[in-house]
Amino acid sequence: MGFKAFRVEKNDAGFTRSIVERDESELPQGDLLIDVKFSSLNFKDGLSATGNPGVTRNFPHTPGIDAAGIVLESNHPNFAAGDEVIAIGFDLGMGTPGGFAQRIRIPADWAVKCPQGLTLHTSMIIGTAGFTAAECVQKLEQAGMTPGSGPVLVTGATGGVGSVAVKLLGQLGYEVTAVTGKAQKSDWLKGLGATNVISREEASAGADKPMLAETWGGVVDTVGGDILFNGVKSLRYGCSLAACGLVAAPTFGASVLPFILRHVNLLGIDSVQLPIAEKADIWQRLATDWSMDLTDLEEVLTLETLSDAIDRILAGQMVGRGVVHL
């Protein structure tokens, strides 16, 4: 059966994008054939669509590291035709044809059943970015963070991870300080749940100093670079920073002083290879006690508008979450 797919091809001039007709027989082997209803646009998808070899090496290719849809065929006992499922991470949209298509075929251990209380649509407003935000909050709380620990800093706050982190933390009763380079979005961030909004420049100040004043009870860092380590240097005693991004830089200047003088923690966050059982647990929380109304975060995308959105997310111009309706 034929279906539409967003396709990136490599040629002598670089990389081109188009919408093509494909056949299910062209999909790779896998346990589940899924009718994709929604996907979402993440920064990594932009990298894949522009030929970043750290994400995708083989072309032509269909990006899309997220997909939510209905099982059409199953060769696995845990799933049956008609099941609503969510798939994020692993090799989806990187080396394996991804969610920017009306059909995908994947291994069963890449998918979770959409939990009761969560719709396929909402799961893709969350997507990898929102899931990563939830994973950050969960790991920070496992390390001891509570609303009484002090204010929580969220960097890259208008982006996909940052905006969901602001929303979730605010809903859980935390005092949130949001960092953004988009001053015009301050009121929007406060509407999501931020108590205070500061500029990128303020968050970067003091990068040359070995320590900064104890300020934060926790940090969700989505950008990397010196802003990340400024967050570490300004953690309160015994508190933690969750690092999940590198849009500013993959490296930073550091010393051991915050770790040995303030007993702080730098926590790594990966949503790609996180075991499927742990993914299922977080999705369950997002369907129950961490359920959020994320309507205000969504920008509706289609295959036809996707290419422009890819350019915007790479340029740092996207706000909230781009959801691809298929």
pLDDT at 297: 92
> Is the Cα dihedral 79, 286, 180, 319 positive or negative?
positive
Cα–Cα distances in angstroms (integers) from residue 89 to residues 112, 187, 287, in the given order: 12, 32, 19
Quickly tell me which residue has 């309507």 as its tokens. Answer: 295
State the Cα torsion 245-317-38-20 to the nearest 10°: -110
Consecutive sets of 10 residues in the chain, 326 residues long: mean pLDDT of each?
95 92 96 98 95 93 98 98 98 97 98 97 97 98 98 96 97 97 94 96 93 98 96 98 91 94 98 96 98 94 98 92 97
pLDDT of 37: 98
Q: What is the largest CA-CA distance in the chain?
A: 62
Q: What is the pLDDT of residue 69?
A: 98
Under 8 Å CB-to-CB from 119, ≥6 apart: which residues? none
What pLDDT score was predicted for residue 46? 95
Quote the pTM value: 0.95
CA pair distance 302, 293, nearest whole angstrom:
22
Distance CA 66, CA 59 (A): 19
- Name 106's bridge partners: 32
- Domain positions in the chain are 2-114+294-325, 128-268
Q: Is the dihedral of CA 271, 274, 276, 278 positive or negative?
A: negative
Amino acid at 208: D
Angle at 64 between CA 58 and CA 68, to 5 degrees: 140
Which residue type sits at 263?
Answer: H
Give the amino acid at 105.
R
Q: What pLDDT score was predicted for residue 247?
A: 84
Whether 49 contacts 20, CB under 8 Å: no
Domain 128-268 maps to which CATH number in 3.40.50.720, 3.10.129.10, 3.90.1150.10, 3.40.50.300?
A: 3.40.50.720
Q: Counting Cβ atoms within 10 Å, is residue 57 exposed (0-12), middle (13-18) or buried (19+)?
A: exposed
Where are the strands (E) in 92-167, listed by range?
Answer: 103-106, 111-113, 152-154
The span from the CA of 168 to the CA of 188, in Å, is: 15
CATH 3.90.180.10 fits 2-114+294-325, yes or no: yes
9: left (phi over 0), alpha (psi -120 to 50) or beta: beta
| pLDDT on residue 283 | 98
Give the pLDDT of residue 12. Answer: 87
